[in-house]
Amino acid sequence: MLSFSRARSQGRNTRPLTGGMDYLEPKRKTNVMGRVILVVSLTALCIIMLKHAPSFTSPTAFSRSEEGVTHVLVTGGAGYIGSHAALRLLKDSYRVTIVDNLSRGNLGAVKVLQGLFPEPGRLQFIYADLGDAKAVEKIFSENAFDAVMHFAAVAYVGESTLDPLKYYHNITSNTLVVLEAVARHKVKKLIYSSTCATYGEPEKMPIVEVTPQVPINPYGKAKKMAEDMILDFSKNSDMAVMILRYFNVIGSDPEGRLGEAPKPELREHGRISGACFDAARGVIPGLQVKGTDYKTGDGTCVRDYIDVTDLVDAHVKALEKAKPKNVGIYNVGTGKGRSVKEFVEACKKATGVDIKVDFLPRRPGDYAEVYSDPAKILRDLNWSARFTNLQESLEVAWKWQKTHPHGYTS
């Protein structure tokens, strides 16, 4: 055995020394040492890289609570209303995190906000889908939120009647995911963006907060389900909750920084203001008014049109006034109903274009008349609509539309 081992050793480039020991040649020893040094160097490099990875960095402004600073998560913050809310919060020195999957929102709106507030620790944007529970949990784990303003939702009545499951998933199911994360991480305040569509078609006007909720389309039903979940959870929670049921939103930022820019494929389902502007710019041949036989003054639907600037003001006041273990439910409107025909005439004057109008049969899921009684929100939050001139709100929005003919895309 000894001679066999020695023979193999000699075959491996070794030399026999006194005492029968084998000695590696210097060249072989140098190769081994080189490999050891290489492995140590690579290991050290990996450690350095890991320490600089996000999970190893020291806490950022967004991941830690800071006295005197309120960190608000704005879901759907790249959308029409959400982006205006984020702008107002940033102007008021809140710290803002926007979460949006950009299915309805615009990255361009986020870039505008980033340009206006480039300072570290003011604004961050996270691309994520609220239907992804793991992604939502990661967002809440890595950020210290003091409050959540939950805007994210698909929001077209007509589309909801054609694809109801999308609405129940996007609104009801996604709100449950957000609510579970809010509960796990003990977020102090939740401001929920709801809708007058939860009331359906009440027998009596104006609508007050205790008006029975009998929604008649999937959009309103999905929102009511989300409200019910929030209300049930709040019964055994210390969280402060505000639910804002608002009416038809119009207008844009008075300083022209933000506006409404729906995706082209959604124009058919969009707000009447967007359709009016598209007709005025020649994007579509004319405006289609659906339904002229409602039991209203001129046969067209009557709505309460609220300027987006007033709407976000109501959200900020709700955030400021929210109290632990309390739920506030408020209608956000002007308290005055305007018919679709009145709206069209105001739009013609605002744009200076004699828009062609086609009158068509009713759209499924619409209701004849809806407008609010804003007395409660005035009493509790000291809020009332200031921008109530329909034509002036449309003029502000039209100005943005003219300077942004392709929305946020240059």
Average pLDDT over residues 235-246: 97
Residue 57: phi, psi to the nearest 5?
A: -75, 160
6 has a pLDDT exceeding 70: no
Catalytic-role residue among 80, 156, 168, 219: 219
**pLDDT recorded at residue 141:** 98
Average pLDDT over residues 387-395: 98
Average pLDDT over residues 220-243: 98
**pLDDT recorded at residue 268:** 77
**pLDDT recorded at residue 59:** 75
Residues 6 or more apart whose Cβ sits within 8 Å of residue 390:
250, 305, 338, 342, 343, 346
Residue 111 maps to a domain: yes
Distance separating alpha carbons of residues 267 and 398, to the nearest angstrom? 16
55 has a pLDDT exceeding 80: no
CA angle 77, 71, 190 (to 5 degrees): 70
Residue 21 maps to a domain: no
Residue 34 maps to a domain: no
**pLDDT recorded at residue 23:** 41
Number of independent structural domains in the chain: 1
CA angle 224, 228, 234 (to 5 degrees): 140
Is-contact 366 201, C-beta < 8 A? no
Average pLDDT over residues 134-139: 98
- Indicate the pTM of the whole model: 0.85
Residue 52 maps to a domain: no
pLDDT in tens, 71-128: 999 999 999 999 999 999 999 999 999 999 999 999 999 999 999 999 999 999 999 9
pLDDT in tens, 258-308: 999 988 887 777 788 999 999 999 999 999 999 999 999 999 999 999 999
Q: Residue 236: pLDDT band by 50, 70, 90 thresholds? A: very high
Residue 312 maps to a domain: yes
330 membership: H or E segment, kind and range: strand 327-332
Average pLDDT over residues 232-255: 97
Domain span at residue 316? Answer: 71-403
Is-contact 258 206, C-beta < 8 A? no
CATH at residue 392: 3.40.50.720
Least confident range from 42-46, 206-210, 225-229: namely 42-46
Distance separating alpha carbons of residues 196 and 199, to the nearest angstrom? 6
Residue 250 maps to a domain: yes
Residue 62 maps to a domain: no
Between 84 and 26, name the one with better pLDDT.
84
164 membership: H or E segment, kind and range: helix 164-167
**pLDDT recorded at residue 258:** 98
Instruction: Note if 371 is an active site residue.
Output: no
Across the chain, mean pLDDT equals 90
**pLDDT recorded at residue 365:** 78
Residue 231 maps to a domain: yes
